[in-house]
């Protein structure tokens, strides 16, 4: 790469600014050149790409979100005040509930009416523990209202009937005098709720019923036929799809279902080792598992591309979306904890994983209509962890918070003039990942990830079609690849200001090693 004397001087200047702010030392004076075409806006980046998934699993709902009105933990109508306030600040666009695997054994009538009369069931998937049904349909919509989110209901196709599924939707949306509308009113909710999305089963290839794609495609049509709601409050219907590199579910559903299907779901979990029996640890992992985790998480790019290609063949008008309604990291259970509760610590690595995924999702905005991280509180790649009355925000929370400006923004193309790789033991990933967009209020926003755990990266950014006049940067980084927040030290990993120089319309900045940065530029 050729560097003019001026560029070199500016890069050194930018680096010294970062050094002055206490960032890691300058490792390379050679700037990576990034060009942004603000004059060539692309597709909208849906806010739904920043969705959440909250299942009845471990301490995700019970204790994590819902503690009940009599709890000593400060709450409003049984919802933890601290958790609700933190989630609200994330501007969560949509919450998927009640599962996951739990969805296909959930019977909605168990979760309505007076709480002391609700039946106790067994949560057979997750720890074989009592499910009190204290958190049911009314509580879910209360949560969604408090967060300013929309509802994505996952219906039970595995062990429920078409009638049960249809009646749940009627209970939630009926506006007339039907028995179910009156029952909802008797239970305290006068007006219908808005159900934005309705999933017809979950992982029907596994915990949702061990079906074949063809069998499920027929079943989907049968159940979806009876999913009716008043005009103006009809949910988008989402079919349960495949996972990882699979395309057979998308292929079969797209070929067999030519009405009443707005989306097909897909799931992908990132395992450091790529192997389920020994996935890798959440903290105290070797550098080999830093790079393998980042490498594995970026496989989603290819998996989305494969499924999009299938949809392009069957649905050239792009009516059917892909819903990545479960994604995130999945590590070995923490020693001493109930393995079925899927509780795991969350480190700087998880924040980098989250930001890499966001950067990839933006490039799939045409078909990727939603993504839901698994899961909101205390489960898998959680944004919040709790222990009794204590709560902490994870590095993943901060990545979501920093990327808020991308919700409902417009994608803007960008390209690097060459990209060096970070390599370890034969595994290579690009050193830097970038995304860019125009926000709803006209700013230009950049999301940048430095994947290299040792080397900072100097960046020179040129922008076409945008007269940059002011700039502000925020960075999330830490000293160690497994740096994390604890209940005793909850602010070890949190965003800080990053100086960015604006020089004749060009941006000059230094990305610390192992970091996530968001830069907002205004005209």
**Nearest 5°: CA angle at 111, between 108 and 115?**
165
DSSP state of 403: T
To ligand AHR, the closest distance from the beta carbon of 169 in angstroms equals: 21
Q: Does residue 203 interact with ligand AHR by CB under 6 A?
A: yes
Q: How many residues does the chain have?
A: 523
Q: Count H helices and E strands in the chain, helices first.
A: 11, 28
To ligand AHR, the closest distance from the beta carbon of 362 in angstroms equals: 24
Answer yes or no: are the C-beta atoms of 268 and 229 closer than 8 Å: no
Please identify, using beta-carbon distances, which residue of 141 and 330 lies nearer to ligand AHR.
330
One symbol per residue from 31 to 70: x for binding ligand AHR (CB under 6 A), - otherwise; what is it?
------------------------x---------------
Q: What are the structure tokens assigned to 247, written together?
A: 């395309």
Please identify, using beta-carbon distances, which residue of 266 and 398 lies nearer to ligand AHR.
266
For 253, left (φ over 0), alpha (ψ -120 to 50), or beta? alpha
Q: From the candidates 326, 401, 455, 510, which is the catalytic residue? A: 326
To ligand AHR, the closest distance from the beta carbon of 519 in angstroms equals: 33
To ligand AHR, the closest distance from the beta carbon of 32 in angstroms equals: 36
Please identify, using beta-carbon distances, which residue of 184 and 267 lies nearer to ligand AHR.
267
Give the separation between CA 469 and CA 481, rounded to whole angstroms.
35
Q: Catalytic: 326?
A: yes
Q: What are the structure tokens assigned to 31, written together?
A: 């700037």
Please identify, using beta-carbon distances, which residue of 370 and 374 lies nearer to ligand AHR.
374
Please identify, using beta-carbon distances, which residue of 282 and 402 lies nearer to ligand AHR.
282
| Burial environment of residue 315 by CB neighbours within 10 A (0 to 12, 13 to 18, 19 or more) | middle
Question: Residue number with the shortest CB distance to ligand AHR?
Answer: 100
Q: What are the structure tokens assigned to 52, written together?
A: 């959440």
Q: From the candidates 33, 105, 150, 203, which is the catalytic residue? A: 203
To ligand AHR, the closest distance from the beta carbon of 326 in angstroms equals: 5
Please identify, using beta-carbon distances, which residue of 24 and 100 lies nearer to ligand AHR.
100
To ligand AHR, the closest distance from the beta carbon of 3 in angstroms equals: 47
Contacts of ligand AHR in 84-103 (CB under 6 A): 99-101
Among 144, 253, 356, 374, binds ligand AHR (CB under 6 A): 374
Q: Catalytic: 287?
A: no
Q: What are the structure tokens assigned to 465, written together?
A: 């079609």
Q: Does residue 326 interact with ligand AHR by CB under 6 A?
A: yes
Q: Which of 468, 492, 464, 465 is nearest to 479 (CA)?
A: 492
Contacts of ligand AHR in 349-368 (CB under 6 A): none
To ligand AHR, the closest distance from the beta carbon of 206 in angstroms equals: 7
- CA 452 vs CA 182, 194, 431, 496, 514: distances in Å: 59, 44, 6, 19, 5
Please identify, using beta-carbon distances, which residue of 15 and 219 lies nearer to ligand AHR.
219
Contacts of ligand AHR in 126-155 (CB under 6 A): none
The piece of 136-144, 311-319, 374-382, 442-450 that touches ligand AHR (CB under 6 A) is 374-382
Three-state secondary structure call for residue 46: coil
Q: What are the structure tokens assigned to 99, written together?
A: 């599962």
Q: Which helix (H) or strand (E) holds 240?
A: none
Q: Does residue 202 interact with ligand AHR by CB under 6 A?
A: yes
Please identify, using beta-carbon distances, which residue of 238 and 444 lies nearer to ligand AHR.
238
Q: Does residue 370 interact with ligand AHR by CB under 6 A?
A: no
Q: Does residue 105 interact with ligand AHR by CB under 6 A?
A: no
One symbol per residue from 433 to 472: x for binding ligand AHR (CB under 6 A), - otherwise; what is it?
----------------------------------------
Q: How many residues bind ligand AHR (CB under 6 A)?
A: 10
Q: Does residue 377 interact with ligand AHR by CB under 6 A?
A: no
Q: What are the structure tokens assigned to 243, written together?
A: 């996972």
Tally of CB atoms within 10 A around 122: 11
Q: Which of 397, 261, 269, 400 is nearest to 325 (CA)?
A: 269
Q: Which residues of 16-46 are buried (b: 16+ CB within 10 A; e: fewer)?
A: ebbeeeebbebbbeebbbbbbbbeeebeebb
Q: Which helix (H) or strand (E) holds 251?
A: helix 248-256
DSSP state of 487: S
Find the DSSP H helices in 315-376: 348-363
To ligand AHR, the closest distance from the beta carbon of 243 in angstroms equals: 8
Catalytic site residues? 203, 326
Question: Which residues contact ligand AHR by CB under 6 A?
Answer: 55, 99-101, 202-203, 326, 374-375, 380
């Amino acid at each position: 790469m050729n560097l003019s004397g001026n560029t070199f001087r500016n890069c050194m200047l930018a680096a010294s600014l970062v050094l002055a702010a206490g960032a890691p030392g300058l490792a390379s004076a050679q700037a990576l050149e990034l060009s942004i075409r603000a004059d060539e806006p692309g597709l909208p980046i849906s806010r739904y790409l920043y969705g959440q998934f909250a299942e009845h699993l471990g301490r995700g709902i019970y204790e994590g979100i819902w503690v009940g009105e009599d709890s000593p933990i400060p709450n409003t109508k049984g919802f933890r005040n601290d958790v609700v306030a933190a989630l609200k600040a994330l501007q969560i666009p949509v919450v998927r509930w009640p599962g996951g695997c739990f969805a296909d054994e959930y019977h909605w009538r168990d979760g309505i009416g007076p709480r002391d009369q609700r039946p106790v069931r067994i949560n057979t998937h997750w720890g074989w523990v009592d499910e009190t049904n204290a958190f049911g349909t009314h509580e879910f919509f209360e949560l969604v209202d408090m967060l300013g989110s929309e509802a994505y209901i996952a219906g039970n196709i595995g062990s429920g009937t078409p009638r049960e599924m249809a009646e749940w939707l009627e209970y939630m949306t009926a506006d007339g005098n039907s028995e179910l509308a009156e029952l909802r009113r008797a239970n305290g909710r006068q007006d219908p709720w808005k159900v934005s999305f309705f999933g017809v089963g979950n992982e029907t290839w596994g915990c949702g019923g061990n079906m074949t794609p063809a069998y499920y495609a027929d079943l989907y049509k049968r159940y979806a036929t009876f999913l009716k709601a008043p005009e103006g409050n009809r949910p988008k219907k989402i079919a349960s799809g495949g996972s990882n590199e699979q395309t057979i579910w998308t292929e079969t559903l797209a070929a067999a279902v030519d009405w009443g299907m707005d989306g097909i779901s897909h799931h992908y979990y990132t395992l450091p080792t790529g192997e389920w029996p020994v996935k890798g640890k959440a903290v105290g992992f070797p550098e080999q598992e830093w790079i393998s985790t980042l490498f594995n998480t970026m496989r989603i790019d290819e998996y989305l591309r494969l499924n999009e290609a299938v949809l392009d063949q069957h649905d050239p008008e792009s009516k059917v979306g892909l819903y990545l309604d479960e994604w995130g990291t999945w590590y070995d259970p923490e020693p001493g904890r109930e393995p079925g509760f899927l509780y795991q610590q969350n480190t700087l690595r998880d924040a980098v994983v989250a930001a890499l995924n966001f950067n990839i999702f933006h490039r799939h905005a045409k078909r990727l209509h939603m993504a839901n991280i698994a899961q909101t509180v205390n489960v898998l790649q959680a944004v919040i962890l709790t222990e009794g009355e204590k709560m902490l925000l994870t590095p993943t929370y901060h990545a979501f918070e920093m990327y808020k400006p991308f919700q409902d923004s417009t994608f803007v193309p960008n390209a690097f003039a060459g990209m060096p790789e970070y390599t370890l033991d034969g595994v290579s990933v690009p050193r830097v990942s970038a995304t860019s967009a125009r926000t709803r209020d006209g700013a230009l926003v950049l999301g940048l990830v430095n994947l290299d755990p040792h080397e900072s990266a100097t960046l020179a950014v040129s922008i076409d079609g945008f007269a940059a006049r002011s700039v502000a940067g925020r960075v999330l980084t830490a000293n160690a690849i497994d740096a994390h927040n604890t209940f005793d030290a909850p602010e070890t990993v949190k965003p800080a200001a990053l100086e960015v120089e604006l020089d004749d319309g060009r941006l000059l900045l230094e990305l610390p090693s192992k970091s996530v940065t968001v830069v907002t530029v205004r005209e």
